[in-house]
Structures are given as structure tokens and as C-alpha cells.
Structure 1
Amino acid sequence: MSPEPDPSALPDLLHALRERFGFDAFRPGQREALEALWRQRRLLCIQPTGHGKSLLYQLPATLLPGMTVVISPLLALMRDQVGQLRDRFGVAAASINSDQTEEENDQVVAAARAGRLRILFVAPEKLDDLTHFRLLLSLPVSLLVVDEAHCISTWGHDFRPAYRRIVDAVERIAQERPELRVLALTATADARTEHDVAAMLGVGGVPLAVHRQGMDRPNLALALRPVRGLAPKLEALRAVMHGVEGCAVLYCATRDQTELVAGYLAANDVPVVAYHAGLEPARKRRLQEDFTSGAVPMIAATNALGMGIDKPDIRFIAHVDVPGSITAYYQEVGRAGRDGAPARGLLLFDPADQEVQRYFIRSAQPTEDDFAALQRVVEGSPEPLGLMAIRSRSGLHPTRVTVVLAELCEQGFVEKVLVGRRQGYVWTEREGQPDLERYRRQLEVRTAELDAMLAYGRGEPACLMQALRAALGDREAAPCGRCDRCAPGTVVTPEDAPAPRVSAETWLESRTVPLAGLRTPAMAPGVALLDGPMRGRPFAEFMRGRAAGRMPPERLLTLLHGALDALREEHRFGCVVTVPSRTWSCRRAVGDLVAEALGVPHLPLLLPGRPADARQGELHNNDQRRDNVQGCFDVDLELRHPPGAMLLLDDYVGSRATLKEAATVLRKQGGWEDEIVPLALARVRWKLGAPGMI
């Protein structure tokens, strides 16, 4: 590395921009923000998406001594930034995140400790891990960057408990290195959030300066379309997408919805691929690379991953489901047209979609009972408990466990300890009761944010962009002149779309549900035939018939044969194995039928082990369901089987704990080396934090 410059002197920023990054000029606001960071050392920068916030830490990282640490929740953006910094600009960069293996993260840790990195990206959840938090404190950090800084504030629309550790990190690092610079970045912060973030990051007597730019996006035209019901929504989306040129992102509220949207559009010759956190890391990396290069022009993505894709030439963004807030919507739709060329954004608004967002709000909202439940679990254990053990013993919704633990740690009721390399939690001797005021406030904030988004979706604003800007505190907000309220009929014109190859109603009736593959235990992608949360009569008929000991109805058997035909094109099967069940009396008959259709033997390779402690639907979360089936299967080691893939058949799948346990036993005890392809007659969705199906 070159000799370290004097960090206190304002460098020639334009020279550095040209020499290190090859740009001739700064974008509006960049130079002013960089100068403020250099002179005042702590800065909150609020800029619209696409204004080049990344440069505000990339350039200083090449000029400051030591290391720049970027805390960001956007895993896809991390991958983009690391690759671009290394390959395009020659800056040594790496990341620590959950998409990487433990070995990969260990290699990054070693490089950071050896001083071989200029920029280190860290997912905020990693700060909850004592090992990584201590690593951060040990590094020669000269610039600490907080991406998506609104997540620190309980007034923010996307408050995350893990971000509270950042405040602690700033305070601890600044004690050792008073010259530390702190840069907080966000595209969405109203006045309350701004003041909250400034107060928390301006610790140690160093105030946080604020640099705010206007929130207009003059190249972005917004549109709004009311819909009622899933089938009409899919039809409207198909009609619009046939007129879309260039790259597009379709935001969906859930992983399931991304698969559904991509499946329907693909069936109608619109090349859309689903992209979400449930995919294997290698699959996500490939999709991201293909989307960035243009090989895959359109993706249906959940918001957390979709907004992290660093692609400036996205021409169209559609929100298939209503977002949880105007601030989230502005940030997500703002991924379009970051290159300055014309772009469009569309919201398909169905009032019924609000139930998903209200569920998200409830799931993350802890109660006094939740705090008491975790106290009983942690305080009652003679030894430190890991996160999975706490989730299993408490039965709470996993999100609530994470939130409550983070809060108890911050308030001093729970302490993290290391037992070897494993992190555990122990109850402290602090007296009193936890303060839940911030969560009461957060419930009010999120409910109000959702209500404002619903008002937008109902078409109340006279100008769509003006409404977004005003909600974000932009005092210069004015009618944009380009949205479909200001210029009706000019943004989205689906009237010329061709007739669908398959109608949404017909497709939904015959749709099967993809089951994502697994890395551990190794399991190929598979399929479930009926979607419990989506389908009414066929699913109900199957479940009633199953309970009565009847074979699946003819309609389901037709779907079964169609799925087998599709699977046979992708795999060379050698046998069918059914998952043991004490309640599915037609298990053997259905297994024989499937084996006959594939022309392979139906083998009793899996045997019942210990009886489960409860039925899966009676349990409260997936950690309990995982523990419930451990040891429930054995393998017939004497049974010989032909070569080829195994079709692993089950009646229905929910948490996938049963299939995972079966595959684990087959791999470890049975030594199975060929593919295992899961097939379930139905998919159910278990509640989290309570028993039963959704």
C-alpha cells in the first residue's frame, strides 16, 4: 500500500476521484458531503436512491489510513460492491455475512486482521455475535459507515434491533481512536428519524452533521393501478409486462409470492425469475450476476434482496404487493433509472394486501408476555443457551425472539457469553423490569406508516411523486407533471397487450408449488402439488380424504402425473421412498402408484424410529418442529436399491423439518449418495408463535 496520508488535511477530492475511480466530476451533493465528512468527522447523508451514496465511503477509504468498515443489511449490494471495488477500482474489499460459509467468513477475518483490506462490509446481524463484535473493536477503523441508517431509529420505518449494537461500536471505537469518522447513509428519513439518528451517532461529544438533498427523481414516472384479488392482479401485471422494455424488478411481499409471480409470467412468455432469501447462496449469486449482466432481464424479488442489487439501468419497477410504508416504497421504486434515463414505477394496489403487512408488524412487536417467556427460559437454564435452543424452548415467533433478546441484552438483563466458538445467553442479576416504551412507539410508527401507504394506494394524492416527497420531509415537493395523476394514460398502457396464453384463474388451479433445494442435507429442488394457503376446495378435499383414509381425488392424481412427467425430464429415478407416517393410511398405495408411473421400485428404505412427541401442527415454531422429528426415522441398511435419484414422497410439507430429517438420516446413516428429490401432495404453512395452519 502507498504511504498513509494525513487524515486531518482536506485532500484534493477531485484528483482522487479522477485517479482512483476514473470519473471526471462529482454528482450533485457528493463533494459537499465529502467535505463535511472530512471537516466535521460525523455525517448523516440523506439522498435519493441513485445519487451515488456509495462513493461517499469508497473514495475516503482510499485516502484515509487504516480500514473502512461498512455495516449494511443489503447482501446483494455487498456482493456487487466487493466485486466492483476489487475488479474495477483495485480496492481490497471483502464482506462478512450469512450467505458465506463459516470458512469463507474466517478467511475474511484473517485478511482483516492482517491489514490486507481497505474496506470491510459487515451485515448488522453479525454484530450480535460476540466474536465479530470483538473483531470490529480490534481493527484499525478510521471510517465507520452505517448504510440504511434509518434502521437505528425506532422512529424509522425499518427499525432493526441489531443496529443498536452500532451505537455501542461507535462509542467503543471512538474511545480508542478519537479521530474516527462516522458516515450514516439513507435515502429515507423524516425529521424525527433524522434527529434520532443524529442524537445516537453523535456520541462522545462529536455532533453529527446532516446533509439532506431534495427527494425528486425527475426521470422517474409513477403509476397506480387498483386491483381486487390475486387472479386479476396477475392478469394486470402480465398485460403491463408485455409492454416493458429493458430490465425490471417486481417487488413482492413474500418469498412465496415471488415464485408465484415468476411462474405465472413465465407461463405467459414473460421471462421473469424469482429471487429471494430462501434460495441457495450459489443460486442467488448466479441470478444476481445474470441480472446485472442482462442475461436475466426481469426478476421477482422480495424487498430486502431486490433493493440491494446495484444496477443503474433498471427501466421498470412494479410493486405487486403494497409495501409497509411510503418510505419503503420510495426507496424500492427508486432503484429504477439510477443512470438518469427515463424509468417507470407501478403499484398494483389491492386493499387486501395490507393483511400481510399487518402480520409483519405483529410478528416483530414483542409483548410483556414475550419478555416474561424468554426470562423463564434463559433464567431457568443452568447453562448458557444458544439462539436455536431459546427459540425451541420458548415457542415464540423467531422474529420476536431476536427482537426480545437484543432488547434484553441492551438493557442489561441478558449477557452474551462464548462457550468455545458457540455464543450463548445468560440472565444477569439486574433487578427491575424491561422498558418496552420503544416498542409501543414502534407499533404506532409502523401502523401510521402503513396507513399512509394505504392512503397513497387508494389514490388520494393529486400527484404521486409529490406525495412521496412530502412524506419524506421534502419542503420543496411540488407536482411532478409526469406521473399518471399529472399526465393520465402516459405512464402505463396495458390495453395493447396480447391475450394470455393461460388465464390466471386456470393457472392458479393447476399450479404446483416449487420446493427449493437444500445444501445441507443435500436435496434437489422438488415440488408440492396443492398450496394450502392459496387453494380452497381441492386442498380441503385432499385433507378430508386423507383423514378418512381415502386415496387422493382424481383431480389431484392428474396433477401428480403431470408433476411426475416434469420431474422425469430432469432426473433419472432409481426408486421411490415414502416418509413413514402413523396417520397417512394410504401412504403405501400412493407410493406404489408413483413408483409404477415412474417405472421404478417402491422401497421401504425409511423405517419409523422413535415416536414424535407431538404432531407438527400442534407446535409453535419451526425450531420446535425440527427438534420434534429428530430421531424419528431409521434406515433399512440391508435393503439394496438400484442406481439413480430417489423420489422422496410425503403427504404434505410445512416447515420441511420432516423432509430434512429424512434426508439427513438417508445421507448419514444410509450412505445415500445419489440425488434426493422431494415430492409432497400438498404444502401447508404453519403459524409461527402459535399452533395450527395459516
Structure 2
Amino acid sequence: MDSSSPTTSPALATDRSALRAEAQEALQALTGRADADFHDGQFEAIAALVEERRRVLVVQRTGWGKSAVYFLAALLQRRRGSGPALIISPLIALMRDQVAAARRAGVRAEAISSANPTQWSDIESALDTDELDVLLVSPERLVNPRFRAEQMPRLIERCGLLVIDEAHCISDWGHDFRPDYRRLRDLVAELGDQVPVLATTATANSRVVADVAEQLGVQTDGAAPVLTLRGTLTRDSLRLGCLTLPDDRARLEYLARYLDDLPGSGIIYTLTVSAAEDLADLLNRPGRRVVAYTGRTDSEERAELEQALKDNEVKALAATSALGMGFDKPDLGFVVHLGAPSSPVAYYQQVGRAGRATDTADVLLLPGREDRAIWEYFATASMPAQADADAVLAELGASGSPLSTPALEARVDVKRSALELLLKVLAVEGAVDSVRGGWVSTGAAWAYDAPRYENVARARREEQQAMLDYESLQPGDPQQCRMMFLARQLDDGTATPCGRCDVCTDPWYPVPGSAPAPRTRSHEGAPAAGDGSDAPGTVPADHGDDNASREAVSRLLDRVGVPVDPRKQWPQGLDRVGVTSESGGPVRGNIPPGERLEEGRALARMSDLGWAVPLRNLLTVDEQGRRVDAALTPAIANRVVEVLTDWDWQRRPAAVLAVPSMTRPGLVRDLGAGIARIGKMQDLGQLGLSPGATPQRGARNSAFRVAALWDRFTIPPELAEQIAALDGAPILLVDDEIDTRWTMTIAGRLLRRSGSGPVLPLALALVS
């Protein structure tokens, strides 16, 4: 713990003793235990906030009791006449738990979030009448113009304590950087030095700690420096392991076979939404409920699933990182990862959900071959580009009124998700502002911090390599240990070998192809090998459903044919990018039914379990980022036939037409010709390309993508004659990938307007 205490006078010591007694009584009310006492550092943080009005950064492991510090400090501050505490909390789930915990301690707490808009006016009234001790808000709420204009001035004027939970989100060096958290630096400055500030996190290395402390330290001369209280980050209850299996089939069969042997209920993390959904479908069965929890799960269902896990009504939630910070089930028995997070720090944060109030919890990593490709996608998607920032600022500067995000999207070629992130970054850095009606330029000078972003990108690559190093740790090295490795990634130099992980001892989990080795759990309360108990990790005597599990895995991995919904509306702002109809009129609103595609099919998603690797191997790019025109493999060709066989179309296509490809011409041409031959359909060859057409690059959002495609394709006279001869029969339109769906939409519209019958798109891979 990086703290030091000056010599105290007798009077101050007496006051401190009285404060401790008062705080301990409140702690016992919060926990419901008459014997509750403070962990090392908890009371020191409370005293620094209440007595000295300090700025305090607490870095302590999950389960240490950081929330107790800020609730008790808020309560004690209120008793001394201070205003309500403002707690910045990142997740709705966390807010729910925090409000419930505060109320148990007699703290009057409420939260303002997207989950309770009907209660906002009542909460605001309670603030006005001083009936609230604690208000929890998300960092995103600070951007809301109405909240910022109507609520923030009153909160700043009356705030008795500011708490920044999950403070690593402030730092873009952190594993879960959120641009809106950067606004808190300005909020800290507005509060002044008389309002104590507490920042808490369990996942911050030295670089993140320094960055957060620097932002908390915005103050006038003479104020005390930020007090950092840092404890050991190792978790004695966790038993870590990593098992590398050859492919997705082996990993899924392993989970299907051994999931029931893991203790209690837990979380199985995946890297993608589709993997979580597929995994839940595979593992869910009578007597063993497994449900998906992802970013696509609505807020009401999330709350229900979280409660079901807390009540042990499910064996596991198959979850993405959407279930992370803030979820609190003290007796969570296990955490399994199907695919590794991109950094040991992110991994530590997720495994920290387990074993918070139990003697033991099992943590197993099952890395996948596709992990690195997924890491790279998310890493590049989160980094703002200078050209994009310059384009956004130029458009806002030229506009005489606020521009909404959709309006901006029609002016700059930036994908919606990236544009929203970029606007947040620019807002935090003072270059733009969110107002009613959209975004405006502030006119403030702004420069792209290229060195910082380059350093962050380098740090991300180093974190990825560290995760690979974690996976490759080998038993027998006295200087290695999985828990010690994770702690050192967080710059906790106090860690020593845990004596429990599969590097310190033999594997505690079943290893396929080997006999179960005798094992002893080194932590108190756990069963030893040979004591007659069914210790989690030992191979059960009977797995009679192994064949059923293997068949279920095969059904999942062999499943092909993902529906692709047709686009039904044009993006906004096509007039601004030069798109007009054949008559010169605007293109907007609904796509006429007679110009739409039918529902299509893709062989599989690029993120599907089982298919990510073979599809990426086929649809690969070279070292310069150019697409490789590889040959269609027999295995994938056979799966395409299965998709066609199972397709429940109303009328069977009479002909096949390929979208012309300038990057994979052989693959797409062979795909179309092969389908025509096997399906006994007419081979129409491919659409024509307009003169001067070049390989498609750069267009990222919908409006610019449509503009780039609008006049790209042609129908040569011979093809027009063939289409007319089909007399309205359906056409199968094939391509290698479907990403935004606009290529197929524009090509299909051209065909429909030329007199074709229904157009059914088919591609090897659905990218997004």
C-alpha cells in the first residue's frame, strides 16, 4: 500500500479514533455483520476523504471492498453537513447492485440511467429537497445536454464527494478506455479543492495509475497531492489453468463433456456475440441451463439473467465482455474463457468475477486459433484516425447549425460506430460540443496527438504478446506462476507463486488423452485427491452422454446457411454525396419492394465457431493487405451445396450470376460456375463493370458506400437478353463476402429494374 501517514497530534488521534468507531458501526450496518472490520487501507481511505478532503486513488483487487469505502465516506460526509455524493459508475448492472447495497446501510441512493427514465423527475425532486445522500450516474450522462444544463450546475454546487468507479476507464492506456470518462478531469477541476474525490479500480498497472492520478490532480496550488492506496492484487481463491486444444470442435466437446464438473455456477466468456449465442445453444439442456448474455441482450433481460446467475438458476451465462465490470456474485464458482481476451489485464478483470467470497474457484482458459484476428479487429476499430477527425471538424466548422450523427455520416466517410467514438474523443478534448440537435464545433484549437495514439497502439501489441506469453507458461519453472504473471502485468511486485495453478502444480482439470493425475488443492477447505469426493477437475467415473455431446457439437459446427436480411431503406444524405435516381430525383426513404433483394444466405459468419478459421484461410489477405484470390476448397464447396439444398425458397432460381470481383475474380467466377453446374442452372457469367472501375476501397459508412457503388455495375446487351429470356424466374446472385449488404443491394436493384425476377443473394461469408 503506497501510503504514508504524518505524525499525528493526540487531539487528531482522538478524533481519528472516534471517526473509526463511527465508520465501523456504519460498516457493520452495511454488511449486516456485527463482527465486520476494515480491510487494510479501507479506513485510511475513508479518513483521508472525510477528515482531510483529499483526492484518493484506491487500487485494490476485486472483492476487497471499494464500494464500502465510498458509501461509508458519503454517509459520514452527509452527517457532517456536506451535500450528496456523486458516483460515476460505468454499468447499469453495477448501479443496481450499488443502490441496493447503499440502501442496506441506510444510505439514500438513487441512479439515473437509460434503464429508468420514468423515474428521473422523482429523483431530481429528491435532489432538490435534499432527500438523497448518493446519486449514481453513468459517464455518458455527463454528455447529455439536458442533464449537463439542468442538473450538473446544482450537483457541482452542492456535491459533498465525487466518486469515480472503475477509474481505469479514464485512461486510454487502460484495457477498457471510455472517452466520456475523460470529461471527469474537467468535473474535478470545477469542484475545487474542498470537495474530496475518490477514484477506485482493480485493474490498473503503473502507467494507468500515473495517468489517472495526473487527471485527479487538477487543482490549485497548495492542495495535498493525490493519495494512492495500492494493495496486493493476487487472489488466493482462484485456481488458474490454460488448456490449448487443436480446434473449435475439440474445445466445444471438452466444454460439453466437463461443464457439469465445474463447481457451482459461473460464466463462460467468448470473444464474439455469435460465439456466445452458439455456445449457449450447444450447452443448454434439461437440468443444465446455459443462456447467452451479450451486447444484443436488452437491459430488462440482462437484469433477469444476472439475477438468475446469482440465484444459481443457471449453470452458466455464455457471455461477451458485456458481462464484466460491476457484476457481483460473491460465490461465483468458475470462469471459463472460450478464446482469450487481448490483454492479461482484461483477463484479470474478467476472472476476478469468481471466488470473491469462497475458498476456491476454478478459472480455465481455452484459447483459439482465431483469437489474434479478433484482437486485431477490435484494436484497429477503436483508434481514431487523423483524416477522419479533420473531416469531421471541417464539416462542423462549415455548418451554421448543429449536425446530428446521421447528418455527419452523410458528409464524412466514417462508419457510424467509429464516428460516434470519434465525436466523444473530440468532445472530451474540447473541439466539439453536444447540444440539442446534434454536434457543433467549439472553434477551439485542436491537434491530433499522433505520438500518443502510436504509443497506445504499441502498448496494445505488447499486451497481446503478453497474453500469448501467459498461454505458453510451462510447469516446473519456479519463477513462473499464472497468478504471479497476471499480478506483475498489473505492476504488483509483491506476488509470489500461488502453488495452485497448473504451472505451480499438475493440471487440476481433465486433459484429453491422458489419465487423471492425482492432485491436491493447496488451499484450505478444498478436497484432496483420493478423499472420495467429486472434486471439480477430476475425471468423472462415467460420462455416458459423450456420444450425445459429440453429436451436438457436430450439429453446431456443421450447420451452414446464415440468413441475410435485405436492405429495406436508403441511408440518409445520399443527395449530399451525388446519388440521384435515374430521373434525377432524390433517393431516400424505403427501397421500393420491386427493387429489393429477397432474403439471402451466407455459408457462415466469419465469427462463427468452427468456421472462423477455414473462412479466414480462404478469404485471406497478403502482407500488403491485398485480398488473395484463392481456389475454392472441396470442403467449402460441399457446404455451399448444403446451403442450396436446405434453402427454403418459394421458387427455385433458374440462373446464377456473379458479382464482378477485381480482387478475387477467380474465386467468385468459379463459385458461380460451380453452383450453376451442380444445380443445373443457367450460368449468366457476371455483371458488367463500368469503365474506369477500380477495386473497392475506403468507403466505410452507408451513404459513401452507396455512392461508390451507384454507377459501378452495368448489364451488357447479351446479359440483358438472357435475363429477358428467363421470363421473371429468380436469379441467384453470388459473391465472396457480404459485409454492409450494399453491394448486393445495388446490384440487385439494377437487375430488378432491368426486368429480372426475384434476386437471391448468396455469399461464402457474412463479415459483420
With normalisation by structure 2, the TM-score equals 0.66
- What is the deviation of 1:49? 0.7
Using the alignment, how far apart are the partners of 2:235 and 2:64 within structure 1? 10
- For residue 599 of structure 1, what is the aligned residue in structure 2? none
> Can you list the C-alpha shifts for 1:86-118, whole angstroms capped at 9, x where unaligned?
4x44433222233x2644445544443443322
SS in 1 for 2:255: helix
Equivalent residue letter for 1:315: G
1:435: which partner in 2?
449
Structure 1 residue 506 displacement after superposition? 3.1
Counterpart in the other structure of 1:28? 39
The alpha-carbon deviation at position 341 of structure 1 amounts to 2.4
Corresponding position of 1:644: none
Number of the residue aligned with 2:61? 48
Q: In 2, distance between residues paired with 1:350 and 1:142?
A: 48
1:153 — aligned with what?
171
Which of 198, 211, 214 is 1:196 aligned to? 211
Q: Structure 1 residue 187: deviation in Å?
A: 0.6
**Residues 509, 621 of structure 1: CA spacing in aligned structure 2 closer, same or farther, 3 A cutoff?**
farther
Correspondence 1:620 to 2:711:
no
Shift of 1:559: 4.8
Identity, in percent, stands at 34
Q: Which residue of 1 aligns with 2:332?
A: 314
Equivalent of 2:554 in 499, 505, 515: 505
Report if aligned partners of 1:344, 1:491 keep a CA contact under 8 Å in 2: no
Equivalent residue for 2:679?
Answer: none
Cα deviation per residue 1:282-323 (whole Å; 9 max; x = unaligned)?
211221222222222310111242343111110100111211
Name structure 2 gaps, 5 residues minimum.
1-14, 511-536, 566-598, 619-638, 651-656, 659-695, 709-732, 744-759
| TM superposition shift of 1:172 | 0.7
- Cα deviation, 1:40-75, whole Å, max 9, x if unaligned, reads 421111111111111111222222222122112222
User: Which amino acid is 1:319 matched to?
Assistant: H
Q: Specify the alignment match of 2:583 in structure 1.
A: none
Flag the 1:415–1:529 CA change in 2: closer, same or farther, 3 A.
closer
User: Quick check: 150-159 or 469-478, which moved more?
Assistant: 150-159
Q: What residue in structure 2 maps to residue 555 of structure 1?
A: 642
Counterpart for residue 242 of structure 2: 224
Question: What does 1:340-359 correspond to in 2, within 5 Å?
Answer: 340-359=358-377
Q: Which residue of 2 aligns with 1:266?
A: 284
Task: Return 194-203 or 33-42, whichever deviates more.
Answer: 33-42
Q: Does 1:334 align with 2:336?
A: no
Please state if 1:69 is matched with 2:124: no
Matched AA of 2:202: A
Q: Which residue of 2 aligns with 1:97?
A: 113
- Residue type at the aligned position of 1:42: R
SS at match of 1:162: helix
1:408 Cα offset (Å) = 2.7
Q: Give the corresponding residue for 2:720.
A: none
| 3-state secondary structure, aligned to 1:311 | coil
Q: Match of 1:591?
A: none
- The match for 2:605 among 532, 544, 553 is 532
Aligned residues of 2:241 and 2:502 also touching (Cα < 8 A): yes
Is the Cα–Cα contact under 8 Å of residues 364 and 399 in structure 1 kept in the other structure? no
Amino acid at match of 1:620: R
Letter in 2 for 1:202: G
Q: Which residue of 1 aligns with 2:750?
A: none
Aligned-pair distance for 1:619?
5.9
Residue equivalent to 2:12: none
SS at structure 2 position matched to 1:312: coil
Give the distance between the partners of 2:56 and 2:267, measured in 1 at CA.
Answer: 31
CA distance in 2 between counterparts of 1:104 and 1:657 reads 41
Greater C-alpha Rg: 2
Summarize the Cα distance change of 1:250–1:89 in structure 2 as closer, same or farther, 3 Å threshold: same
The SS at the match of 2:318 is strand
CA contact (8 A) 1:415 1:426 kept: yes
In structure 2, what residue type is equivalent to 1:203?
V
1:339 deviation in Å?
A: 0.7
User: Is 2:428 aligned against 1:418?
Assistant: no
Judged with a 3 Å threshold, the aligned counterparts in structure 2 of structure 1 residues 92 and 261 are, in CA distance, closer, same or farther, namely same
CA distance in 2, matches of 1:219, 1:424: 49
Deviation at 1:330, TM superposition (A): 1.0
Query: Is the Cα–Cα contact under 8 Å of residues 95 and 121 in structure 1 kept in the other structure?
Result: yes
Q: Which sections of structure 1, spanning at least 5 residues, go unmatched?
A: 1-5, 517-525, 541-551, 565-575, 577-582, 585-615, 629-649, 659-678, 686-692
Instruction: Give the AA of the match of 2:147.
Output: H
Q: Is 1:184 matched up with 2:199?
A: yes
TM superposition shift of 1:238 = 2.3
| CA distance in structure 2 between the aligned counterparts of 1:681 and 1:70, rounded to whole angstroms | 50
AA partner of residue 45 (structure 1): V
CA distance in 2, matches of 1:75, 1:625: 35
1:215 is paired with a residue whose SS is coil
2:152 partner letter:
L
Conserved? CA contact 2:249–2:554, under 8 Å: yes
> What's 1:447 paired with?
461
* SS in structure 2 of the partner of residue 306 of structure 1: coil
Which residue matches 1:485? 503
* CA positional deviation for 1:485: 1.1
Which deviates more, 488-497 or 329-338? 488-497
Aligned counterpart, 2:265: 247
CA contact (8 A) 1:49 1:334 kept: yes
The match for 2:228 is: 210
Deviation at 1:379, TM superposition (A): 2.3
Partner of 2:320: 302
d(CA) in 2 for partners of 1:416 and 1:8? 48
Q: Distance in 1 between matches of 2:563 and 2:335?
A: 25
Corresponding residue of 1:58: 71
CA, structure 1 residues 371+94, in 2 after alignment: closer, same or farther (shift >3 Å)? same
**Cα RMSD after superposing both structures:** 4.3
Partner of 1:645: none
Shift in CA distance, 527/490, structure 1 to aligned 2, threshold 3 Å: farther
User: Helix, strand or coil: the match of 2:263?
Assistant: coil
- Distance verdict in 2 for CA 1:378–1:219, change over 3 Å: same
Task: Tell me which residue corresponds to 1:390.
Answer: 408
Structure 1 residues 510 and 437, CA, compared in 2 at 3 Å: closer, same or farther?
same
Q: Distance in 1 between matches of 2:429 and 2:325?
A: 32
Question: Aligned partners of 1:465 and 1:622: how far apart in 2?
Answer: 46
1:13 maps to what in 2? Answer: 23
In structure 2, relative to structure 1, the CA distance for the partners of 1:657 and 1:368 (3 Å cut) is closer
Quote the Cα distance in structure 1 between the aligned partners of 2:242 and 2:19.
Answer: 47
Report how far residue 220 of structure 1 moved. 0.9
Structure 2: distance between partners of 1:145 and 1:288:
25
Contact 2:49/2:73 (<8 A) preserved: no
Deviates more, 1:17-26 or 1:345-354: 17-26
1:684 is displaced (CA, Å) by 6.4
Distance 1:433 1:618, change over 3 A: closer
Q: In the superposition, relative to structure 1, how do residues 400 and 440 fare at CA in structure 2: closer, same or farther (>3 Å)?
A: farther
Offset at 1:441? 2.2
Paired AA for residue 559 in structure 2: S
Matches of 1:215 and 1:351, distance apart in 2: 30
Q: Could you tell me whether the CA contact under 8 Å between 2:278 and 2:556 is conserved in 1? A: no
Residue number in structure 2 paired with 1:85: 102
C-alpha distance in 2, partners of 1:112/1:7? 30
Residue identity opposite 1:128 in structure 2: V
> Do the aligned residues in 2 keep the contact of 1:512 with 1:527 (CA within 8 Å)?
no
Counterpart secondary structure, 1:305 = coil
**Partner secondary structure for residue 140 of structure 2:** helix
SS of residue paired to 1:394: coil
CA distance in 1, matches of 2:16, 2:126: 23
Name the CA distance, whole Å, in 2 between partners of 1:527 and 1:116.
Answer: 57
1:406 positional shift: 3.2
Paired amino acid for 1:63: L
How many equivalent residue pairs?
Answer: 573
Instruction: State the structure with bigger RCO (CA 8 A, min sep 6), 1 or 2.
Output: 1
Q: Distance in 1 between matches of 2:94 and 2:553?
A: 34
Conservation of the 8 A alpha-carbon contact between 1:188 and 1:472: yes
